[in-house]
A and B are shown apart, each in its own frame.
Chain A
Amino acid sequence: MDTETHELIVGYALDALDADDRARAEDIFARSDEAREELRSFGGVVTALAVGVSGHAPRPELRERILSAARAEPSNVVPLEARRRSRLAPALGAAAAVAAVAALAVGLWGASLSTELDDTRSALERERAAATLLADPSTRTVDLRSGDGRLVVDEAGQAVLVLDDLEAAPPGKTYEVWVVDGDEPIRAGLFDGGRAREVVPVEKSVRAGTQVLVTVEKDGGVDAPTTAPVVTSARV
């Protein structure tokens, strides 16, 4: 990169560019890894400059004002069509997804330290796969009709249940995941629960029109549900 580009990147990082220079910088970031890298390398010092003048607290009501305003906005979720189009712009999206997955995996790693090492390894693998799915912008979110959390499904029918506040299964029991196609529940994995946030890959394909549910069953699971579901998704 030439001196002019270095200077442009610093001007951008400090928000010191006029509109036309800002557009020129955006242009460079869109096509140069090196330029993006350099911008990122100045991120810490720019945040430090902000920290350097911190100390004044906003009034407490600002928090609720912002959340109310966000709530009042139409959904911020990008429509599926727009996402599909944006997927055609490959490199950027992919790199962002990888970074998001890495970030998520680190978070999940912390949550899985309490399990045994082997369990942790396979749990981490499963969680990596789950995190990849969660970070994919083309997936969609399906609400739960009962239980606290959501179901995330990609176009190929791979799915992850994200469950909050599900207490650990009682001794001798396990949670069993089911995919219900018509009237037929199909076994789709076991888990123990008990974490603040449980990320559970659904081991069977989740197609349009099916539902995912979770029941409490005896250890090792059963062939067909024997109890009322504790988690029920809306129809996919």
Chain B
Amino acid sequence: MRRFSTVLFSDDAAAAAPARPTWSMRKHLAHLSEEALVALVARGDEAALAELYDRVGGIAYGIAFRVLRDERLAEDAVQEGFLAVWRSAAAYRAERAAARTWIVTLVHRRAVDLVRREERRRADPLELVPRQEPPDPAGSAEDEAWLGFERERVQDALRLLPDAQREAIELSYYGGFSQSELAERLGLPLGTIKSRMFAGLARLREVLDEAEGSWTPRLTS
């Protein structure tokens, strides 16, 4: 029988092993779900983090930019959000949210924290309808086409809401205002804001579900 011990325990073998090429790794991750990618990130897999960024980074940046209206601040929010993914992937709870939703929420929370610190925004007039700048090419033509379609579908759904409900949702999610800040700014009882937000989001969920059975974000690779 061949004796392996000398070969196996030698450190030369480790030194001779080539560094893992990140780019060739990526194609192996393309068939994995985002939840599985988060499980890999929890194990310190950097290629999995890169794959998650490639799939969700554009959407995360979009919402951060909408909240912060500033490219550098939006990039900071995305960076902090993805580092939170990196640090806390082991704490991700799949029964609370899809991985994509979890990541978008982490970035959105960073953006909201930043905007609540910004005195500048406090002086802005309240803006009820999100201003849609012409999109820059963010990815492949196919991804762009899908995003364009989804964007329109979501905006159509928002337009179906009564103004008061749409206002509550847009000002909180896109404007970064908390429920109590909104109540104060709009001069309404807190309970009114809460119930408008609930009714609006429940209605929106219904409209988007109707249109597509259930709203599942497409997995891009």
B128 at the interface (CB under 8 A from A): no
- Asked if B17 and A47 sit within 8 Å, CB to CB, the answer is no
B109 at the interface (CB under 8 A from A): yes
- Asked if A16 and B178 sit within 8 Å, CB to CB, the answer is yes
Collect the chain A residues with CB atoms within 8 Å of residue B174's CB. 49, 53
Known: A50-B62, A107-B32. A148 touches B57 (CB 8 A): no
Expressed in whole angstroms, the Cα–Cα distance for A37 and B172 within the complex equals 22
Expressed in whole angstroms, the Cα–Cα distance for A228 and B204 within the complex equals 61
Size class of A's contact patch?
35 or more
Collect the chain A residues with CB atoms within 8 Å of residue B32's CB. 103-104, 107
Q: How far is the CB of A111 from chain B (nearest CB, A)?
A: 6
In this complex, what residue of B is CB-closest to A234? B14
Collect the chain A residues with CB atoms within 8 Å of residue B176's CB. 15
Q: How far is the CB of B45 from chain A (nearest CB, A)?
A: 9
- Selected contact of B150 from candidates A51, A57, A73, A234, CB within 8 Å: A51
In this complex, what residue of B is CB-closest to A143? B14
In the complex, chain A residues 65-95 whose Cβ is within 8 Å of any chain B Cβ: 65-67, 69-71, 73, 75-78, 83, 92, 95
Expressed in whole angstroms, the Cα–Cα distance for A36 and B98 within the complex equals 12
- Asked if B28 and A164 sit within 8 Å, CB to CB, the answer is yes
- Asked if A53 and B66 sit within 8 Å, CB to CB, the answer is yes
Which one of A133-141, A153-161, A168-176 is at the interface?
A133-141
Q: How far is the CB of A146 from chain B (nearest CB, A)?
A: 5
Expressed in whole angstroms, the Cα–Cα distance for A71 and B45 within the complex equals 10
Q: How far is the CB of A194 from chain B (nearest CB, A)?
A: 13
Q: How far is the CB of B28 from chain A (nearest CB, A)?
A: 4
- Asked if A100 and B35 sit within 8 Å, CB to CB, the answer is yes
- Selected contact of A52 from candidates B65, B97, B158, CB within 8 Å: B158
- Asked if A42 and B201 sit within 8 Å, CB to CB, the answer is yes
- Asked if B151 and A7 sit within 8 Å, CB to CB, the answer is no
- Asked if B204 and A92 sit within 8 Å, CB to CB, the answer is no
B11-44: contact bitstring with A at CB < 8 Å (1 yes, 0 no)?
0011011001000110110011111101101111
Residue of A17, A40, A224, A225 with highest tally of chain B CB at under 10 A? A40
- Asked if B4 and A180 sit within 8 Å, CB to CB, the answer is yes
Size class of B's contact patch?
35 or more
Collect the chain B residues with CB atoms within 8 Å of residue A67's CB. 46, 49-50, 53
Tell me what chain B mostly uses at the interface: helix, strand, loop, or mixed: helix
A1-28: contact bitstring with B at CB < 8 Å (1 yes, 0 no)?
0010011001101111110010000000
Expressed in whole angstroms, the Cα–Cα distance for A234 and B33 within the complex equals 29
- Selected contact of B31 from candidates A43, A107, A224, A234, CB within 8 Å: A107
Expressed in whole angstroms, the Cα–Cα distance for A39 and B192 within the complex equals 21
Expressed in whole angstroms, the Cα–Cα distance for A137 and B39 within the complex equals 9
A99 at the interface (CB under 8 A from B): yes
- Selected contact of B105 from candidates A10, A41, A46, A145, CB within 8 Å: A46
Residue of A41, A44, A92, A185 with highest tally of chain B CB at under 10 A? A44
- Asked if B42 and A54 sit within 8 Å, CB to CB, the answer is no
- Asked if B151 and A54 sit within 8 Å, CB to CB, the answer is yes
Q: How far is the CB of A102 from chain B (nearest CB, A)?
A: 8
Collect the chain B residues with CB atoms within 8 Å of residue A53's CB. 62-63, 65-66, 130, 132, 151, 174
Known: A10-B197, A47-B59, A65-B79. A55 touches B136 (CB 8 A): yes
Q: Top 10 closest A-B pairs, CB basis?
A: A55-B135, A99-B94, A52-B154, A54-B62, A57-B138, A103-B35, A43-B101, A16-B172, A44-B215, A50-B63
Binding site for B on A (CB under 8 A): 3, 6-7, 10-11, 13-18, 21, 29, 36-37, 39-59, 62-63, 65-67, 69-71, 73, 75-78, 83, 92, 95-96, 99-100, 103-104, 106-107, 110-111, 134-135, 137, 141, 143-148, 164-165, 180, 182-183, 185, 196-197, 211, 213, 224-226, 228-229, 232, 234-235
A-B contact pairs, 20 of them (CB 8 A): A10-B201, A14-B172, A18-B179, A44-B98, A44-B205, A46-B105, A46-B173, A47-B101, A50-B62, A51-B150, A54-B59, A55-B132, A56-B133, A58-B74, A75-B44, A76-B42, A103-B34, A103-B94, A104-B35, A213-B4
